[in-house]
Homo-oligomer: A and B are copies of this chain.
């Protein structure tokens, strides 16, 4: 796997509105992919805070990249369920979205996502997801 292959999955498999998040693949390891969510006025609500909707969308999207990394290729899958906790606001900086595969079986995959401030490294959002592998 390499960053370019993961990055190229974004225009191939995701809706244009999701691509508009501007996610950039930063790194990956055996279990996880980390993508950068840039700071952008389009994603901010009053006060310059990153909107929670963008955090959820980035988390779900990064997890699909982590599954591609895990399997070595894109496998058709669908999000079954996602739970997100918003620990604190993120303002004045972008985010680093790390998606990690916890377990991938024959028909289901489980993962967790952590979003941290790109500057201060503090965790602002945690999510857990279940995917059905088709």
Interface residues of A (CB under 8 A from B): 13-18, 20-21, 41-46, 51-54, 56-57, 60-61, 78-89, 102-103, 105, 107-108, 110, 112, 123, 126, 128, 130, 132
Tell me the smallest distance from the CB of A88 to a CB of chain B, in Å.
7
Q: How far is the CA of A122 from the CA of B43 in the complex (A)?
A: 31
What's the Cα separation between A20 and B86 when bound, in Å? Answer: 22
Q: In the complex, how many angstroms separate the beta carbon of A72 from the nearest chain B beta carbon?
A: 20
Specify the chain B residue showing the minimal Cβ separation from A84: B82
Shortest CB-to-CB span from A97 to chain B, Å, is 13
Nearest opposing residue in chain B for A88, CB measure: B103
A81: min CB distance to chain B, Å: 5
Assuming A15-B43, A51-B17, A53-B57, is B84 touching A110 (CB within 8 A)? no
Which residues of B are found within 8 Å of A52, using beta-carbon distances?
60, 78-79, 82
In the bound complex, what is the Cα–Cα distance between A20 and B85 (angstroms)?
24
CB-nearest residue of chain B relative to A129? B85
Q: When the two chains form their complex, are residues A83 and B86 in contact, meaning their CB atoms are under 8 A apart?
A: no
Q: Is A15 within 8 A of B53, CB to CB?
A: yes
List 14 other contacts, CB 8 Å, given A15-B45, A53-B57: A15-B51, A16-B42, A17-B42, A18-B54, A52-B60, A56-B56, A80-B85, A81-B83, A81-B84, A85-B128, A87-B102, A107-B107, A107-B132, A126-B128
